[in-house]
Chain A
Amino acid sequence: MKAVATAHVAVHNDVGLVPYVSEGPALLAGIADGPGLAAHRRRLGPSPTPSAEALVEIARAVDLRGRGGAGFPFAIKLAAAARRKAVVVVNASEGEPASHKDAALITCSPHLVLDGAAAVAHALGTREVHIALPSEFPAIRLLVEKALRERAAAGERLRVQLHDAASRFVAGQAQAVLQLLAGRENLPVTAWQPEAVSGHRGRPTLLSNAETFAHIGYLAGVGPQGYAAHGTADEPGTTLLTLRGDGMDPEVREVAYGTPLTDVLDEIEMTRPLLLGGYHGTWLKPAQLRGLAISRNDIAAAGATLGAGVMLPLAEGWCPLVRTAALVDYLAGQSAGRCGPCRNGLPAMAEALGALVHGGGPVRRVEELCGLVVRRGACAHPDGTARLVTSMLQRFPEEVDSHSLGTCRHSREGALV
Chain B
Amino acid sequence: MSEHQMRVDWPACKAHGICAELLPEVISLDEWGYPIVHEPVKGDVLAMARRTVKACPTLALRLTQPPPRHA
Contacts and interface: CB of A to CB of B under 8 A. Distances in A.
Interface residues of A, number: 15
Contact of A338 (B11, B15, B30): B11
B32 A340 contact: yes
Interface of B: 7-15, 30-34, 36, 62, 64
A345 B15 CA distance: 14
Contacts, number: 41
B62 A341 contact: no
Interface string A177-192: 0000000000011101
Contacts of A345: 32
Contacts of A151: none
23 contacts: A190-B9, A190-B10, A190-B12, A192-B7, A339-B10, A339-B11, A339-B13, A340-B10, A340-B13, A340-B14, A340-B15, A340-B32, A341-B10, A342-B10, A344-B32, A344-B34, A345-B32, A372-B30, A372-B31, A376-B8, A376-B10, A378-B9, A378-B10
Contacts of B64: 192
A188 B34 CA distance: 18
Interface string A55-81: 000000000000000000000000000
A377 interface: yes
Given A344-B32, A372-B30, A376-B34, A338 B62 contact: no
A338 B11 CA distance: 5
B32 A190 contact: no
Interface of A: 188-190, 192, 338-342, 344-345, 372, 376-378
Nearest to B62: A192
Nearest to A382: B10
A190 B11 contact: yes
Contacts of A377: 10
The 4 nearest A-B residue pairs measured at CB: A339-B10, A340-B34, A338-B11, A344-B32
Most buried by B among A338, A340, A342: A340
B11 A378 contact: yes
Nearest to B9: A190
B32 to A, nearest CB: 4
